Structure 1
């Protein structure tokens, strides 16, 4: 079975109203394109939007929302609709010419088994090799009347211009913190304070927010990071080294922790500038935030935020973990 969000149709999509309206309008007016590129970062909702669009196009009620109860919708929800094909790839970072030929190009001439359309959803489309894109080109130029091809791409700009010029490109923008918080509180039943932190942490990415809300460890990470930030200025060098050791025991989540450190110092900066609690993410830590704001200059806080960015860049470039963290903590301590 599919995720619960798919069962809510277009109405259940958080944010992306412009993209939803475009697709629903295309269905309403009968002007559905043969090829779309849906662009957005991992976790932004590309696959969910593509699935709901496909389900609505195939729905036997022919509305602008899937009815969820007809034979076609039920097949779509159970993941075995014969006329909706997910193009997969075995190599982790490449969609090869064989993947595109075998699953799409050679298959598209076979008419739909039972529906009005035959829909192909190509996940990770920005990983298509140039050869795979060229193999797809002729099909996109002269598709059968019943074909709809949905290319889901984290970075649509790296697709060949010959492909992009023949597709309707829809880009997913970041979801607002307000919409994100509302979704977390009312759909995922997350408490107010936690929803505020998770919405800000997700930076407009609904998948990231859901993952944080579903994780048992996320709020533990938040508490750990807050604890370190509260005492960072008073920490002795040996305590900094201990903190580095603790972080290095879970390198997978280090980028999340760096994001949380940055959120903390953005709160410090905001409070220093406004003296207001309302806009803060970590409202419950107002005493520690105001104390830090009083002892650090604007320039010092900017240096810290910059040091956190530099640490993330160094880790991505495989610079020594312990050294990178120690340099960052020293900047936090000294400023």
Structure 2
């Protein structure tokens, strides 16, 4: 960990937080919203570390006793609220770990910071219990609510917090991070960054998972060989994939990216902007076989399959229809 530089693509939010520290205008409650893997936890941890850092700068120094305690996750003034039930954060969790605890002054630093991850899981009773503290907080208390669904909060809570929405990072930023920090080869970093759609957590997971690399190969094999496969072989491929239902979104993402590459190559004859540059021979072949209309029809069919699967339509049937569309176009 090397400070706010570790948080990708969130420069505006970091600037806002650093200015608040610099001008001594830190709010007593923040909502960090963004999808899972966007960097909310890291950002909240670094903000808490900076507020308690003994050097009192706009970045954590990483060297003082306070920063070291925070890095080892046993700083007495940084409280990560935990909950017993996986699906909800109850009134008991909020009362015991925050409402009652906030009356006790900080042990060593100027602030006492509460981090509630998955804060959208708070029950209405828990939110109401928290509301009183947010309305009349002790001067030293700061509450950080981390969520992928800010709409789950009571309007009375939202109106009393500063909301900071984390945006997806650009593909180039993610790709550079994977190559420079994680030493992922150019070709693989391009695929992982495109699949991650600006979500650095997802990109890191894709880059470090052998299972994901295998999934990518399987997906490419299916789309590249689809026109040569018999219906029964397509059905077998569907069966193979249905053992892997949890990963079906990744399969569909790879299919979409591959056919977009085919469409792009057909239109421009350029290789530089393709995600799957190493598959150029297969891409050329497919571009010759399919019309523009046919390729757009396939990309639409992949999206339709995605919608059907999320609506719990029969898996095998959905995938067979998709493969038939790929084969026919």
* Residue 177 of structure 2, aligned match among 175, 183, 189: 183
Instruction: Indicate the residue corresponding to 2:81 in structure 1.
Output: 87
* Residue 264 of structure 2, aligned match among 252, 264, 270: 270
Instruction: Indicate the residue corresponding to 1:253 in structure 2.
Output: 247
* Correspondence 1:1-335 to 2 at 5 A: 7-335=1-329
Q: Distance in 2 between matches of 1:333 and 1:10?
A: 48
Q: Alignment length, in residue pairs?
A: 329
Question: SS at 1:254's partner residue?
Answer: helix
Q: Distance in 2 between matches of 1:265 and 1:131?
A: 49
Could you list the runs of 5+ residues in structure 2 that have no partner in the other structure? none
* Per-residue deviation, 1:312: 2.1
Q: Distance in 2 between matches of 1:334 and 1:92?
A: 46
Larger mean CA deviation between 121-130 and 246-255 belongs to 246-255
* Per-residue deviation, 1:249: 2.1
Q: Distance in 2 between matches of 1:262 and 1:95?
A: 38
* Per-residue deviation, 1:317: 2.5
Q: Distance in 1 between matches of 2:148 and 2:276?
A: 31
* Per-residue deviation, 1:253: 1.5
Instruction: Indicate the residue corresponding to 1:4 in structure 2.
Output: none
Larger mean CA deviation between 128-137 and 77-86 belongs to 128-137
Q: Deviations over 1:260-312 (max 9, x none)?
A: 11111111121222221111100111121122122222222222122222222
Q: Distance in 2 between matches of 1:326 and 1:225?
A: 15
* Per-residue deviation, 1:234: 2.1
TM superposition score normalised by structure 1: 0.95
Larger mean CA deviation between 182-191 and 235-244 belongs to 235-244
Q: Distance in 2 between matches of 1:32 and 1:182?
A: 32
Q: Distance in 2 between matches of 1:274 and 1:165?
A: 49
Q: Distance in 1 between matches of 2:91 and 2:260?
A: 46
Larger mean CA deviation between 292-301 and 259-268 belongs to 292-301
Q: Distance in 2 between matches of 1:214 and 1:176?
A: 20
* Per-residue deviation, 1:316: 2.4
Q: Distance in 2 between matches of 1:279 and 1:120?
A: 45
Q: Distance in 2 between matches of 1:103 and 1:298?
A: 59
* Per-residue deviation, 1:130: 1.8
Q: Distance in 2 between matches of 1:263 and 1:177?
A: 13
TM superposition score normalised by structure 2: 0.97
Shift >4 Å, 4+ stretches: none
Question: SS at 1:60's partner residue?
Answer: coil
Could you list the runs of 5+ residues in structure 1 that have no partner in the other structure? 1-6
